[in-house]
Amino acid sequence: MSTPVADDAAPDQRLHPWSWLFVLLMQLRQFLLPLVALLVFGGRGDSDSEEMWSNLAALVVIVVLVASSILQYLTYHYRIGRDAISVRSGVIARNRREIPFARIHNVVVHQNPLHRLFGVAELRLESAGGNRPEAEMRVLRLDQALALEQLVRQRGQQAVASGDEAASGADAPPTAAPADTVLLQLGTADVVRIGLLSNRGWVVVLAAIGASYQLFPRGAVDDAIKYGGRQAFGYANTLHPATW
């Protein structure tokens, strides 16, 4: 079993080369409903050209999902330091997270039948009070995931032990807890934007468009979309945006 190097000067490491396939399968599950609606309802047109365009649109969506999965694999890097794990991901929206070992309270190595077929595993680093994992690594080689799990547990125990020793040796008087303050408050417009940026929000939008084509006359829906597009582009033109 190969143990990862726990050193601050350690090089960045990548996920398993087949990780993009598992990310693609996860994304296909999220987009399954709109894809089925597009293929079923979009193919009910009166001409063969409408059916061809609906199939072409579904193919474009699948190609985009495949490209997105490959980009996630190419841009996901992690580095194991002495006190924390550094995770970098993203192309346009780049993210970098420093996860101290002391914050990690549970390490989950997950395998489903497809994972066992490829000899890989999914690793999740969970904290005590978080609803979502601190990091999800889809996917790693099985021996690499087990070695990383053991390393994280050892480093976490050492960090907790050193923290307890420092707390027991300190004689400073306890300080009063700070008053509760509002760090961030979202308005209705911000919540709507977050919903539209998430996959679930687009599922609702696409489902509503598909249902409108079935409940209302096709001409009325087309006219409404064209009118809304003209209004949106007209409003954007009044803003005089820069060239970039």
User: Average of pLDDT values for 38-45?
Assistant: 61
Evaluate whether residue 1 is within a structural domain: no
Give the phi and the psi of residue 77 in degrees, each rounded to 5: -130, 150
Considering its fold, how many domains does the chain have in total? 2
Domain identity same for 115 and 224: no
Domain identity same for 109 and 156: yes
Q: Is-contact 155 101, C-beta < 8 A?
A: yes
CA distance 127 to 135: 10
18 pLDDT more than 60: yes
Least confident of 13-27, 38-52, 104-118: 38-52
pLDDT one-digit tens code per residue, 127-138: 877 678 888 898
Domain identity same for 124 and 57: yes
Query: Positive or negative, the Cα torsion across 40, 203, 31, 226?
Result: positive
Evaluate whether residue 175 is within a structural domain: no
Domain identity same for 138 and 208: no
Domain identity same for 79 and 143: yes
Evaluate whether residue 232 is within a structural domain: yes
Domain identity same for 205 and 164: no
CA distance 201 to 203: 5
Evaluate whether residue 216 is within a structural domain: yes
Evaluate whether residue 64 is within a structural domain: yes
User: Average of pLDDT values for 41-56?
Assistant: 65
Pick the last residue of a domain from 168, 203, 221: 168
Domain identity same for 150 and 226: no
Mean pLDDT of the chain: 79
Domain identity same for 28 and 73: yes
> What per-residue confidence (pLDDT) applies to 5?
47
pLDDT one-digit tens code per residue, 141-157: 999 999 999 998 888 78
Evaluate whether residue 4 is within a structural domain: no
pLDDT bracket for residue 6 (50, 70, 90) = very low
Give the range of the structural domain holding residue 229, as residue numbers without chain letter: 188-238
Q: What is the CATH number of the domain that holds 39?
A: 2.30.29
